[in-house]
């Protein structure tokens, strides 16, 4: 049965706008790649460092790594101590990491555009490939992510796309277009949900209009807003967390969804996922090392450990997210039709969401105005 999972991207309801402003302030000007962002000066690291003299603090979403991760890492690498600090959202993590001074965090799990924003603020340690030999396990496509080509400041942990999740037994025709959500047919009226998280709320309208998901043009955002307002009366609700449950119960027949959250593993096997013909995004959750870390060798050892196929496969098998680790995915039994079977080349057809700097506030405003009662 479908399990309601942790909230990966959902902003805290009350503080969403303020946090988005903080993230935008971190981001500076928009960029297409971390190659053009100011790079942190790489520290001189010792590949033979005594890790027993180092400790490790990691911030990550609840349920996103194995429960026994701390115990096993400490046992293997003999670090003096290790702590997992949980964050509920990217925005919460950014608040911790950008508050000024040393956050005390060594490794942070954040989505790709947030890694880009942290790097633009000069807060990230460049990745030292010589300390992460398991980088060779990654798919070649995992080095071509627009926010960080070559994995210079981040290492991808999971990746996927956004589309329409639907009940095959309750729709009269399978959805093929974002218009099936924006302008639902009569039989789906009030039985459709869309997301509230800013960039994903705007995504369907931007794609239908033929615009980039990373647009910062006022006239394009205004046209997307108009489409979203026209769709609003026909929605069941805006929802980022329970849409899978609504499909299972039959209250919804089609929902905008991240692929891993589409409950295609429901025992009735009557739920499917489709990427609309207008295209979609490529989202990536990634691992970064903070420049302020005093335990950089241990931080690199941690990322290398995560990229071990026996460790990394856990994410695919337990949270139903694809991992960009070929060696790990080769060990995963993928059922016919499973979303885990989407190929890396297919994912790269999606448009990577990047940090827009100050322009991010335009999407904060759009979300607030569209979803307001």
Consecutive 10-residue averages of pLDDT for the chain (373 residues): 37 35 41 44 82 97 94 96 94 92 93 94 96 98 94 97 96 97 97 94 98 97 98 96 93 94 77 95 96 97 98 93 96 84 91 90 95 91
**H helical segments located in the chain:** 16-27, 69-77, 90-97, 112-120, 179-182, 198-208, 218-231, 243-249, 296-306, 309-318, 326-329, 344-347, 360-371
Instruction: Give 106: exposed, middle or buried? Use CB within 10 Å, 0-12, 13-18, 19+.
Output: buried
pLDDT at 189: 97
pLDDT at 335: 80
Residue 34 gets the label, from left (phi > 0), alpha (psi -120 to 50) or beta, of: alpha
Whole-angstrom CA distances from 367 to 22, 28, 82, 297, 370 are: 16, 21, 38, 41, 5
Task: Look up residue 220 and give its two tokens.
Answer: 């394009």
pLDDT at 153: 98
| Angle, CA of 212, 201 and 18, to the nearest 5° | 105
| Angle, CA of 276, 27 and 126, to the nearest 5° | 95
Distance linking the first and last C-alpha atoms of the chain: 33
pLDDT at 174: 96
The pTM of this model reads 0.84
Q: How many CB atoms lie within 10 A of CB 122?
A: 13
pLDDT at 334: 86
Report the distance separating Cα 40 and Cα 102, nearest Å.
15
Whole-angstrom CA distances from 65 to 91, 158, 178, 192, 298 are: 19, 11, 32, 31, 18
């Amino acid at each position: 049965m479908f399990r309601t999972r942790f909230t990966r991207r959902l902003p805290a309801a009350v503080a969403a706008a303020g946090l988005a402003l903080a993230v935008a302030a971190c981001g500076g000007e928009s960029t297409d790649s971390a190659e053009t962002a100011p790079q942190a000066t790489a520290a001189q690291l010792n590949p033979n460092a005594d890790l027993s003299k180092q400790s490790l603090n990691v911030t990550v979403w609840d349920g996103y790594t194995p429960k026994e991760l701390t115990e096993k890492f400490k046992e293997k690498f003999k670090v003096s101590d290790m702590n997992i600090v949980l964050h509920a959202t990217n925005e919460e993590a950014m608040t911790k990491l950008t508050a000024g001074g040393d956050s005390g965090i060594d490794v942070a799990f954040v989505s790709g555009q947030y890694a880009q924003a942290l790097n633009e603020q000069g807060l990230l340690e460049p990745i030292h490939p010589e300390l992460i030999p398991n980088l060779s396990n990654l798919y070649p496509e995992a080095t071509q992510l627009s926010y960080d080509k070559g994995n210079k400041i981040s290492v991808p942990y999971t990746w996927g796309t956004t589309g329409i999740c639907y009940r095959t037994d309750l729709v009269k025709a399978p959805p093929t277009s974002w218009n099936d959500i924006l302008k639902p047919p009569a039989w789906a009226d009030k039985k459709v949900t869309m997301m509230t998280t800013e960039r994903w709320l705007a995504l369907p309208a931007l794609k239908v209009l033929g615009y980039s998901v990373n647009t910062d043009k006022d006239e394009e955002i205004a046209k997307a807003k108009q489409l979203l307002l026209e769709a609003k009366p026909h929605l069941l609700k805006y929802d980022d967390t329970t849409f899978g449950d609504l499909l299972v119960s039959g209250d919804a027949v089609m929902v905008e969804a991240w692929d891993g959250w589409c409950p295609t593993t429901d025992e009735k096997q009557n739920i499917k996922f489709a990427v609309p013909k207008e295209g979609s995004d490529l989202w990536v959750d990634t691992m970064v090392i903070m420049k302020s870390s005093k335990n950089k060798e241990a931080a690199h050892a941690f990322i290398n450990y995560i990229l071990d196929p026996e460790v990394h496969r856990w994410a695919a098998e337990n949270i139903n997210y694809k991992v960009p680790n070929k060696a790990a995915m080769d060990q995963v039994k993928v059922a016919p039709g499973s979303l885990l079977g989407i190929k890396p080349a297919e994912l790269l057809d999606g448009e990577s969401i990047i940090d827009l700097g100050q322009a991010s506030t335009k999407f904060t405003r759009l979300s607030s105005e569209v979803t307001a009662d």
